[in-house]
Chains A and B, each alone.
Chain A
Amino acid sequence: MAMLHIVNKSPFERVAFESCLRYVKAGDSILMIEDASVGAIEGTKFADQLKAAMADTSVYVLGGDLAARGMSEDRMIEGIKSVDYAGFVELVADNEKTQSWV
């Protein structure tokens, strides 16, 4: 019963992302879009929390949102996968359920 968790708020500005991390289950996937995309960067004050969650979840970021905010993909935390809109659709299709943490 894998679930896709979609986050669109910056982890530095709102607690939505942190809340999401408290509720994800092993085998779930997390997709960062819009302002949440900046959470994918290595070396931030949020990185350790996300890396801990990555032990048993798959983490994705919408590459276009990251690029729009001036962050290149080589700065991402290792193991995070960048996807485009087609990849977004695939993730939704591949998971039985989707929850947005708005």
Chain B
Amino acid sequence: MATKKFMYVNRKAPYGTVYALEALEVVLIAAAFEQDISLAFIDDGVYQIAKGQNTDGIGMKNFSATYKALGDYDINKIFVEKESLDERGMTADDLMDLVWEDEDDDWAEKPSIKIVSRAEMADVLADQDVHYSF
């Protein structure tokens, strides 16, 4: 079977709705099929990978740590839109440090997150075969 390029577009903040958690679970399942997977975080989706999430005050499971496992699942193409960060008073420093280990480079840790402009994001989205929106 030819490999297809799958894009998971995340546009909602975590916890207020179930979209973020559902997307994460779908992505982890999809990873088992060894396809070419990319993730995009735009609009309020950028809060999903914000560092320092603490859910003690709302009594919900904090699933932000699971994004750090994506590298283990060979998911290392994570695109974050700069304009979405700007509009929310955020910078790349506000995001979790998501990395993957390159087996072919003596397990060197490499960053998975790529900050792109809105125009670049449009190109990234256009370049995919299948899109899932959450």
Contacts and interface: CB of A to CB of B under 8 A. Distances in A.
- The B interface is mostly helix, strand or loop, or mixed, namely loop
Interface string A61-75: 011110111111001
Q: How big is the B interface, by class?
A: 20 to 34
Contact of B15 (A41, A47, A65): A65
A97 interface: no
A69 B89 contact: no
Interface in B6-42: 11-17
Contact of A12 (B43, B57, B58): B43
Interface of B: 11-17, 43-44, 47, 50-58, 60, 62, 64, 87-89, 94
Interface of A: 8, 10, 12-13, 34-35, 38, 41-45, 47, 62-65, 67-72, 75, 84
